[in-house]
Amino acid sequence: MMTQPITRTTLSLPTILLAATDRAVKQGKAKSRNELITQAIQHELEALQRAEIDAELAEMAQDPDYQTEVLRMDAEFSSASWEAFELGESQE
């Protein structure tokens, strides 16, 4: 696996947060402060991305054009869905 380029930076953290970070490192939950902070930032960015996707999906659910398209697709596939259901029932 190729290593990613690294940029050194400085952070100002609340003392209590830094102490908790050091405890976690001392307990073996991360190899270093840097690793733990990097993991925390990555986790937060992933959560923000999931929240953006959820917001977009919620917006789509309110979009009348999208709802019309979903209903059209559902109607097109309803007979195929029923046939698949019947096949599944007959195999049990």
**pLDDT averaged over 10-residue windows placed end to end, the chain, 92 residues:** 85 96 97 96 97 91 86 79 68 61
Give residue 80's domain range.
21-86
Decide if 32 is inside a domain: yes
Decide if 13 is inside a domain: no
Distance from C-alpha of 76 to C-alpha of 68, rounded to nearest angstrom: 12
Decide if 11 is inside a domain: no
The number of folded domains in the chain is: 1
Distance from C-alpha of 44 to C-alpha of 36, rounded to nearest angstrom: 12
Distance from C-alpha of 24 to C-alpha of 65, rounded to nearest angstrom: 50
Decide if 74 is inside a domain: yes
CB under 8 A, 24+ apart: contacts of 73-81: none
Decide if 33 is inside a domain: yes
Q: pTM of the prediction?
A: 0.62
Distance from C-alpha of 27 to C-alpha of 22, rounded to nearest angstrom: 9
Decide if 16 is inside a domain: no
